[in-house]
Amino acid sequence: MEPWATSDQVWQGALIFGRIGAVLLMLPGVGESYVPPRIRLSLALVVTLALWPVVSGALPPLPETLGAMAGWIIREVIVGLMIGALLRAFTTALSTAGEIVSLQTALSFAQTANPLQAQPGTTISAFLMLLGTTLIFATNTHHLFIAGLVGSYELIAPAKPLITGDFTELAIRTLGDSFMLGVQLSAPVIVFALIFNLASGLVGRVMPQFQVFFAAAPLGIILGLSVFALSLGVLGTVFIDRYQALARIFAGGAGG
């Protein structure tokens, strides 16, 4: 072990830190606003030191000009933001599912502060976002993030051109899949709301004198939340399986 770092080693560490820091800035749980910046920077530095012996061979040599150095650093930061944005975008499936469940149970006006988003959301949506973040760490899915960081140096090597076209296609597909998954996760409540509203309308037609709204509103909330609670286990399992499949896209580069 050398007691000092050479200029090439400092340059390689800066490149790795640029990508790792950008990814950790966007990751669910780690990149939230309530996490102190010192914690995130310290974690990025530790991960950089851990990955340097593994990925240093894929890094370009030290450029001769300051402009070239800045260009490489900016490129690595952009790559890190791209990867982190994809991993964060998929968590919007839980937000979509929470909004749909809130609409179907007449709780869409129950707004609360969502610590995982920049704006308030429905209570159910905030609950599902926190549940998803908890499942990510409880199932050790964050280990796939570390493997994905290593694999990203094979999928998006610094010495190769930036694959903006492939990333755009993957981003569009990820957003589409996340919205579809959000609808699928809320499907039990959607089916219940459809049947319940049809039954309420039928009762209103058969018994015009009966105050359907006053009886159906609280009953719909109670039964809707009950169906949501019963499907919560399947909801979490399906989400974490799909999220792990997305993380393995980047982690596959490390395994190959």
pLDDT tops 90 at residue 183: yes
* Amino acid in position 153: Y
Report residue 92's pLDDT band, with 50, 70 and 90 as the boundaries: confident
Task: Give SS3 for 198.
Answer: helix
Q: Under 8 Å CB-to-CB from 137, ≥6 apart: which residues?
A: 29
Structure tokens at 54: 């593994």
Q: Provide the H-helix boundaries in 105-163.
A: 123-138, 142-155
Higher pLDDT, 191 or 207: 191
Chain-centroid distance, C-alpha 30 = 11
When pLDDT is cut at 50, 70 and 90, the band that residue 3 belongs to is low
The C-alpha angle with vertex 89 and arms to 84 and 94, in degrees rounded to 5, equals 135
Q: Of 18-27, 147-156, 200-209, which has the strongest mean pLDDT?
A: 18-27
| Per-residue confidence (pLDDT) for residue 112, from 0 to 100 | 65
pLDDT range class, residue 253, cuts 50, 70, 90: very low
Share of the chain above pLDDT 70, in %: 91
Q: What is the mean pLDDT of residues 73-88?
A: 88
Burial class (CB in 10 A: 0-12, 13-18, 19+), 15: buried
| Confidence band for 169, pLDDT divided at 50, 70 and 90 | confident
Q: How confident is the model at residue 191 (pLDDT cuts 50, 70, 90)?
A: very high
- For residues 63-92, give the mean pLDDT: 87
Q: Which of the two residues, 124 and 160, has the higher pLDDT score?
A: 124
Q: What is the pLDDT of residue 4?
A: 59
Give the per-residue pLDDT at 182. 92
- How does the average pLDDT of the chain come out, rounded? 83
- Residue ranges of domains in the chain: 7-255
Burial class (CB in 10 A: 0-12, 13-18, 19+), 165: exposed
Q: Which residue has the higher pLDDT, 2 or 180?
A: 180
- Global pTM value: 0.79
Across the range 117-140, mean pLDDT stands at 82
